[in-house]
Amino acid sequence: MPELAARTEGRGGIPVAAANDPELDPREDSAQAVGQGPGLLSRLTAQQEVLTVEAPLEARVEEPSGVGVYGDHRVGSVKPLGLERLPKEAPQPSLDRLRVAAYREPLELASSFVGHLHVLTRLRATLAWDPSLTRPGARIPEGSLRGPCYARALMPDLDPRFVVSDALRTLRQRAEWAQTLGWVARLGFWAGVLALLAVAFLPPVALVPLSALLVTAVPLGALLLAKSPDDLSLAKAHDQALGLSDRFSTCVDLLANDPEHASLPALLEDTVARLLPFDPARSQPLQLRAEGKWAPLPYLVLMALALGPVFERAAAAPDPVVTEALQAQASEVARFAAATEDGGPGAKKRRQQLEELATALAKEDLSKKEALKKFAKLLDALKDEQKKLREQEEKLREQAAKLPPRKEQDLIDDLHRGDYERSANRIAELLKKLEEKKRKAKAKGQEGLEELKKLEEEEAKLKELKAKVLKLMALHRDIGGAGKVMDFLRNAEGELGELDDPKVTKRRFAKFGELKPGNPPPGQVQKVKRRLVKQKDPKAGAATVDEWQAEAERSEHERTEQKQKVRERQGEAAVTQTQVANDGSRSAKGARQVIKASKRAAEDTIQRQDVPVGYRRYLRRYFEGLEPDESSESQPEKR
């Protein structure tokens, strides 16, 4: 059992000694101490977690006067705030012998200077505050350890230095608490905002580790950032708050730097009288900053997302019908890719693209939407490729059309028409004829040399033309091959689009979940989205309802459009106003005919425009829905 005993120099002039000094016998020290009069701390015994203090009547067990002596040689850096200069007349406990057990003070605390100081200071206060605790063996309830400020109220003779030091300690605790709380609020708010952003924009994050991280990091950060203010600042702030005109801060400063100042005792008395009752909240209010007030908001949003019905982090289960259809599509695409014959130099690349598509479609977790996107992406690529090939073909054809002699107008026309096979046949015939002419010219000998030279020049031009035509034919094949693949893809896409969409029972909150690794990068996704609304083909929409209705001999009275141009007098803005007259005129055509015409117009638009395949069926359904059923048509019109 560790045992601590100490005697102090105090006012008795006895040399300093301590129980944990190996050269001294604690029991002897204790025996010496008892009955030696004021200024002695008789024995301080620590038993496990219970600290027992025994003292005779005169002992200043509660006085840390001797503690200051400890401070001199043990923990020199610790300077108790003027506590070593207590007056001898300090009040004493009224019992012959005192035994108090103080909980909460572990052995390590009791064996250190700081521990002694705390224990003794608290003990003193408690004794003064509650006399019942001075009974032998009485235990100090934890809640009664309140400090000298409380004691002072009941015992005016208590040295005011206790009050000052205790007030400072209380203020420091309060300031540290306020600072920590402020940082918790601020860090909590910003951490919550970051967490919210992370949940919204980053790949799915597990909420439990995220919460654990926040719960750990925020208080830890607050503890690290909170700084303990110095005593003078605390005192000055309290002076300001209470209008003490620097009394408190001067006390603190003098106690630390000039404790012998002649006016210090009077100043202490004056200050303490104004400090009590002591309220640390006056100078250290717990105020939340703006961030602190909003701190709960991001967490509430996170909680709502986590617990609310709209939140579903897991990907939706794949629709078996769609999966089956996609598998079939994949097989079909693979077969088509295998069966694709040589359609020109780009055939190999197209086959590879088709095989990649087939592989992608064969994946089990692919949704209909994702599959349609893949189709659309490949179609886009093929369309771009076809466009480039057409541009090349056009350019080459222009060049080729300039090569034949003017007399070969048929050949030039064939080239302009794009009939390359016929052009090639004509060139072959021409070459044969040239060969014959050359042979004849050679037979003429010297006379035919000039002619032979011309014929050879003509032959060279034709051969050049032949090479270009061959290249044009290859380009044409490529264009055709791409077209075939596009046709196939459009059909397949159409079939896929006809499939029913899976029922959406829950909205996926993690709409950015698609941005997980392996998915198209954001730029491409945007492109696909834009495609749904942007008309790329300038011819799109050329067939309007009006046009088709005109074909269906639309009545003149069915719809009247009157355009009226109104020009304001002031300013130059011209306003065109279109009025649709509702003049009670009746259509001579039946609704069924008009709707049919509209449906044909819509179908035309669907085929010519970039209406996404998955939406075509909705357009068709819409027009089908417009058709009156048989029963309604048979009823006589009311008007």
Partner 1 sequence: MSEPRERAAEVEAFGRDFQNLKNEVQKEIVGYDRVVEQVLTCLFAGGHVLLEGVPGLGKTLLVRTLAKALAVRFSRVQFSPDLMPADIVGTQVLVTSPDGGKEFRFQRGPVFSNIVLADEVNRTTPKTQAALLEAMQEHSVTVGGVTHHLEEPFFVLGTQNPIDMEGTYPLPEAQVDRFLFKLRIGYLDEASLLKVIDRTTSTETARIETVLTPERIQAMRGLVREVAVADHVKRYAVRLATSTHPEGQHAPASIRRYVKFGASPRGILGLILAGKVRALTQGRINLSGEDLRWALHPTLRHRVILNFEGEAEGITSDTLLDEIVAAVDEEALAHSA
Q: Applying CB under 8 A, which part among 38-46, 247-255, 296-304, 501-509 lies near partner 1?
A: 247-255
Q: By CB under 8 A, is residue 165 in contact with partner 1?
A: no
Q: By CB under 8 A, is residue 456 in contact with partner 1?
A: no
Min CB(75)–partner 1 separation in Å: 23
**What is the distance between the alpha carbons of residues 35 and 222, in angstroms, rounded to a whole number?**
51
Structure-token match 């205790």, residue found: 166
Q: Applying CB under 8 A, which part among 196-204, 229-237, 527-535, 621-629 lies near partner 1?
A: 229-237
Comparing CB distances to partner 1, the nearer of 83 and 268 is 268
Q: How many residues bind partner 1 (CB under 8 A)?
A: 28
- DSSP label at residue 144: G
Q: By CB under 8 A, is residue 237 in contact with partner 1?
A: yes
Q: By CB under 8 A, is residue 262 in contact with partner 1?
A: yes
**What is the distance between the alpha carbons of residues 388 and 112, in angstroms, rounded to a whole number?**
88
- Dig out the tokens for 509 from the structure: 């909150």
DSSP, residue by residue, 87-120? -TT----SSSEEEEEETT--HHHHTSHHHHHHHH
Q: By CB under 8 A, is residue 522 in contact with partner 1?
A: no
399: Cβ–Cβ under 8 A, 6 or more apart, which residues? Answer: 468
Comparing CB distances to partner 1, the nearer of 85 and 437 is 85
**What is the distance between the alpha carbons of residues 630 and 639, in angstroms, rounded to a whole number?**
19
User: What sign for the dihedral angle of Cα 602, 606, 610, 611?
Assistant: positive
What are the C-alpha distances in Å from 306 to residues 294, 299, 301, 514? 19, 10, 8, 19
The one among 60, 174, 186, 247 contacting partner 1 by CB under 8 A:
247
Residue 416, CB half-sphere, CA atoms under 13 Å: how many? 8
Comparing CB distances to partner 1, the nearer of 236 and 368 is 236
Comparing CB distances to partner 1, the nearer of 250 and 329 is 250
**What is the distance between the alpha carbons of residues 271 and 352, in angstroms, rounded to a whole number?**
91
Q: By CB under 8 A, is residue 269 in contact with partner 1?
A: yes
The one among 215, 266, 460, 540 contacting partner 1 by CB under 8 A:
266
The one among 257, 505, 577, 582 contacting partner 1 by CB under 8 A:
257
Comparing CB distances to partner 1, the nearer of 265 and 590 is 265
DSSP, residue by residue, 555-585? -TTT--EEEEEEE-SSSS-EEEEEEE---S-
The one among 253, 355, 495, 604 contacting partner 1 by CB under 8 A:
253
Q: By CB under 8 A, is residue 261 in contact with partner 1?
A: yes
**What is the distance between the alpha carbons of residues 191 and 632, in angstroms, rounded to a whole number?**
64
Min CB(135)–partner 1 separation in Å: 34
Q: By CB under 8 A, is residue 172 in contact with partner 1?
A: no
Min CB(156)–partner 1 separation in Å: 12
Helix (H, G, I), strand (E, B) or coil at 299: helix
The one among 52, 180, 211, 233 contacting partner 1 by CB under 8 A:
233
Residues that bind partner 1 (CB under 8 A): 230, 232-233, 236-237, 239-240, 245-247, 249-254, 257, 260-270
